[in-house]
Amino acid sequence: MHRTCALALLACLLGSGTAWADDLPVLRIDGATAKLEDGLQRSADGKLWITLADAKRVFAIHVKRLIPRPPAGKRPVKRREQDAWILCGTTRCATYRGKLLGTTEEPAFDLSQLARTLGLRMRSRSGVLDLRSRDASRASKTARARIGGLVPDLALPCLDGVVRRVRVHPGKRLLLATWAPWSPTRDLLQAWAAHHKQRAGRKVDLWLAAVDVEGASRVKDYVDVGFDVPIALDRGAELARRFPMNDVGHWYFIDELGVLRAEGDKLDAVALQWIDLHLDEPLVAARSPEAAEAPAKATIEQAAKLVAAKPKVAAFAFRLAALHLEAGDAAAALQALDDARRRTPGAWYLRKQYWALWQPNRFYAGAIDTRWISEQKKREKNELDWPRRRR
């Protein structure tokens, strides 16, 4: 009854120019004829429309509503308008922002816009509309994470010796937060754990990723014995290279499909409410985990070539500094960070890591010397920030 009413309303919205089965093309997806229960509809402007139920079935996609970032200082509200949906196929996820027709619960998608969103080529000939998949596997391995898209399948070693994959955590969501021993974020570990404990039973995991070139030797000094939240070690700043991040303290909410749903640079009441809206969504059946590529062990020579090829990508210099430290060459590590901070002064996680290696007593001998940091920012403002702005 509900489906019948929805389709009737859809027909009304499409208007008198609706075309039915006699003059509509046959839909083929990767060579196979698609069997549509509701059928395609053509609107008066000539566009073809496919219902949500048919789209989910024939394209084998999961569909979720996009919950927008809340405006500064305002409470987040779950959007109910028909203007933004997250569509996840077998190889990619993307945000559909095209026009919709139909009811709120039974919308119809613009077929051409839907095909572009899913990365499909569309050709029409002799009464057949042929959709073909593009090979997105290579691009997905190098693309940066963005809201509504699959996150990179990074494997991060943890302090407990377990290697955990960012994308694969079937049946649960993941809240991934960055911190560093050289940053005041080290004092927020217990707060993160407390917020997570309040959400026990809501099928969400919490990982705290330490972005530090010194790795476990420095990180373990700031993790209490018995702390039961996984501490990931990001010595090469891989998160900064593949996720939005200018400084530590950034957090990411990844759903059970491996889709980045929310991210922010601080955890406050508004951010927690935004996260809770995502936790209110029902879980969907997870995909079969894909085989993860074993992380290649980089050499100093390989990392140096990356830095030379892409000098503005600060994470490559971070990785090079970590390799120098492994080799016992602290001076070379410091030089790599110094060169990189001059090229990319906006990468604050890199600049602060340089300060911590250069002046360790101001960061690790008790409380962080915030007065020195403030003065150092002023000293570097003329040296690094202002020349960059003039360019």
Which residue shows structure tokens 């990392």?
A: 303
Quick check: 216 and 290 in contact, CB under 8 A?
no
Surface-to-core class of residue 346, CB atoms within 10 Å of its CB (0-12 exposed, 13-18 middle, 19+ buried): middle
pLDDT in tens, 213-263: 999 999 999 998 778 899 999 999 999 999 999 999 999 999 999 999 999
Beta strand pairing status for 204-211 and 173-179? parallel
Region 3-28: what's the mean pLDDT? Answer: 55
Q: φ and ψ at 141, to 5 degrees?
A: -80, -20
Q: Using DSSP, state whether 328 is helix, strand or coil.
A: coil
Higher pLDDT, 379 or 389: 379
Mean pLDDT (the chain) is 84
CA dihedral 25, 31, 35, 41 (to 10 degrees): -30
Largest CA distance in the chain: 79
DSSP secondary structure letters along 204-264? EEEEEEEE-TTTHHHHGGGS-TT--S-EEEETT-HHHHHS--SSTT-EEEE-TTSBEEEEE
- Locate 365 and state its tokens: 């001998």
Q: Where are the domains of the chain?
A: 2-137, 145-279, 300-390
Does the structure show a pLDDT above 50 at 19? no
Quick check: 283 and 171 in contact, CB under 8 A?
yes
Region 188-208: what's the mean pLDDT? Answer: 93
CB atoms within 10 A of CB 31: 8
Which residue shows structure tokens 């073809």?
A: 48
Beta strand pairing status for 100-102 and 93-96? unpaired
pLDDT in tens, 96-143: 876 667 655 677 888 988 888 888 888 888 888 998 877 544 444 556
DSSP secondary structure letters along 307-318? HHH-TT-HHHHH
> Which pLDDT score, from 0 to 100, does residue 230 have?
95
What is the spatial distance between Cα 61 and Cα 330, in angstroms, rounded to a whole number? 50
Q: Is the dihedral of CA 131, 137, 139, 144 positive or negative?
A: positive
What is the spatial distance between Cα 153 and Cα 92, in angstroms, rounded to a whole number? 12
- Locate 119 and state its tokens: 């990365």
pLDDT in tens, 317-346: 999 999 999 999 999 999 999 999 998 888
Q: Using DSSP, state whether 325 is helix, strand or coil.
A: helix
Q: φ and ψ at 213, to 5 degrees?
A: -70, -20
Which residue shows structure tokens 């996820």?
A: 93
Region 256-273: what's the mean pLDDT? Answer: 90
Quick check: 372 and 359 in contact, CB under 8 A?
yes
> Which pLDDT score, from 0 to 100, does residue 60 have?
87
Which residue shows structure tokens 């940066």?
A: 144
Quick check: 166 and 152 in contact, CB under 8 A?
yes
DSSP symbol at 44: T
Nearest to 182 by CA among 387, 370, 375, 386: 370
Does the structure show a pLDDT above 50 at 20? no
Q: Which amino acid is at 236?
A: G
- Global pTM? 0.83
Crossing angle of helices 330-343 and 314-326, in 10° steps, is: 170
Q: Is the dihedral of CA 12, 16, 17, 19 positive or negative?
A: positive
Quick check: 70 and 273 in contact, CB under 8 A?
yes
Does the structure show a pLDDT above 60 at 389? no
Nearest to 49 by CA among 15, 78, 74: 15
Can you identify the CATH homologous superfamily of domain 145-279? Answer: Glutaredoxin (3.40.30.10)
DSSP secondary structure letters along 23-53? GSPEEEETTEEP--SS--EE-TTS-EEEEHH
